[in-house]
Amino acid sequence: MPRLKFLTLVGALALVASAAHGADAPVESLVTTFNPDLWGREITMTSTWTGPASNIAKDVLDNFWFSFLVFVPFLVLPQVLLVYAMLKFRDRGDGRKSATFMHNTKLENLWTAIPILALAIVAIPVYPLLYKMELPPKDADNALAITVRGKQFAWEYDYKREGINVGNDLVSGQQEPMVLVKDRVTTLRITSNDVNHAWWVPAFGVKKDAIIGRFNNTWFTPDRVGNFKGQCAELCGDGHGVMIISAVVVEPAQFETWQMLQKHRDQAKKVWDALIAWETGKPEDGLRQALAGYRGKFLGDQQADFALQYWMAHNQTSFARSAPIKGAKVEDQASFPQRFAEWQRQQKLMPARRERLGQIMAATVAAAPAHIPAAAPIVAQAQE
């Protein structure tokens, strides 16, 4: 907890600093939150058992332990009896005669009836939970409704009400996480574009198959801020193992910020492209034009400049993860060293270019940024 407070303090200070000097500390922390490295080591796996993060997962875990405790005598008893019989009744060569009984109706009835009783005890509480998992609560009018679409080998998330569509990072082409809100009911409609997939984040305790031509519904309420990862859970072809699923759970205020940022995503990509193409065209002119175009699109939008800074940082992070792949295709093998060197060079150039972009932005009409909630790095919070 003290650490969380400290981070919040740092975030607030950074916000003040950025308002004064245009530094990008909140930008960086937002990037850490919304663009985590799904292929890297920063997110640790949590599951229903190791770190339940939704109401459903907690119910499932409770139900598991209850059933486990009822069932466990039927696991332990045979093992104990087996070991006992092995020790007690082994032939020691002392001429002891075996028993001759072949039946014991009472005993047989007993070991038929008692398991049935135990099963009945377990069967009762599991029934309402089963129905709970199928139907979202009726009073959840503020539910976050997301359409999840699986395709070989990525996920697409459609926030219909918010008009947001994420899934494929515009720069790296890698899987993007979905963003969820803490303590807000999330309903998923899951379907597939091609073969069967299954959407599964172990920490949420929810798994549903994505099947072409069907919409499967499921729901849960994430109750912990953090990064949660999973993997496609139905064999879907060669990329099955790298079909990553990830969810970022944030506070409502941060979700507002994320929504705002997503509105600027496609336009900001044009500025990014100009930034990458900087030295091929005329120096800076392409960049100035792209920036003007961007500001033209969002005329009067006070947050646009902030969003642009965010996306530049976001895309730079993504770019660092988009190394060309060696050995993907035979014809690519020869050009691999050049492509790899080019990727490395672009990466080195990037900080200077972003700084120049900032200077141009500051020199031209600089709208005062509206209040942007500070986003503390989520990984640190999850570890609290």
Q: 238 to 277, contacts with other proteins by CB under 8 A?
A: 238-242, 244
Residues 230, 200 contacting (CB under 8 angstroms): yes
Toward other proteins, which CB reaches closer, 81 or 360? 81
Residue 156 tokens read as 């697409």
- Shortest approach of other proteins to residue 310 CB, angstroms? 23
In whole angstroms, give the CA distance from residue 211 to residue 22: 48
Toward other proteins, which CB reaches closer, 139 or 238? 238
Chosen residue from 1, 20, 131, 280 binding other proteins by CB under 8 A: 131
> In this chain, which stretch among 18-26, 139-147, 207-215, 291-299 interacts with other proteins, using CB under 8 A?
207-215
- CA-wise closest residue to 50 among 177, 201, 185, 219: 201
> In this chain, which stretch among 19-27, 139-147, 212-220, 299-307 interacts with other proteins, using CB under 8 A?
212-220
- Shortest approach of other proteins to residue 27 CB, angstroms? 23
The residue assigned the tokens 């850490």 is 32
Toward other proteins, which CB reaches closer, 159 or 343? 343
- Asked if residue 348 binds other proteins (CB under 8 A), the reply is no
- Asked if residue 232 binds other proteins (CB under 8 A), the reply is yes
Element (H, E) at 20: helix 2-21
Phi and psi dihedrals of 156, rounded to 5?
A: -120, 135
Phi and psi dihedrals of 329, rounded to 5?
A: -130, 150
Nearest-5° Cα angle at 382, 380 to 384: 75
Toward other proteins, which CB reaches closer, 259 or 322? 322
- Asked if residue 217 binds other proteins (CB under 8 A), the reply is yes
Nearest-5° Cα angle at 125, 124 to 129: 125
> In this chain, which stretch among 176-184, 248-256, 268-276, 326-334 interacts with other proteins, using CB under 8 A?
326-334
Residues 51, 44 contacting (CB under 8 angstroms): no
Segment 11-40, which members bind other proteins (CB under 8 A)?
39-40
In whole angstroms, give the CA distance from residue 296 to residue 361: 13
Residue 123 tokens read as 């069967």
- Asked if residue 49 binds other proteins (CB under 8 A), the reply is yes
Residues 304, 293 contacting (CB under 8 angstroms): no
- Shortest approach of other proteins to residue 307 CB, angstroms? 28
Compose the 59-88 pattern: x for residues touching other proteins by CB under 8 A, - for all others.
xx--xx--xx--xx-xx--xx-xx--xx--
Segment 89-118, which members bind other proteins (CB under 8 A)?
89-91, 96-105, 107-108, 111-112, 115-116
In whole angstroms, give the CA distance from residue 145 to residue 137: 13
- Asked if residue 200 binds other proteins (CB under 8 A), the reply is yes
Total length of the chain: 384
Chosen residue from 160, 161, 326, 345 binding other proteins by CB under 8 A: 326
- CA-wise closest residue to 245 among 194, 219, 208: 208
- Shortest approach of other proteins to residue 81 CB, angstroms? 5
- Asked if residue 122 binds other proteins (CB under 8 A), the reply is yes
Toward other proteins, which CB reaches closer, 102 or 299? 102
- CA-wise closest residue to 18 among 30, 26, 10: 26
- Asked if residue 331 binds other proteins (CB under 8 A), the reply is no
User: How many chain residues interact with other proteins (CB under 8 A)?
Assistant: 99
Residue 67 tokens read as 């059933």
- Asked if residue 130 binds other proteins (CB under 8 A), the reply is yes
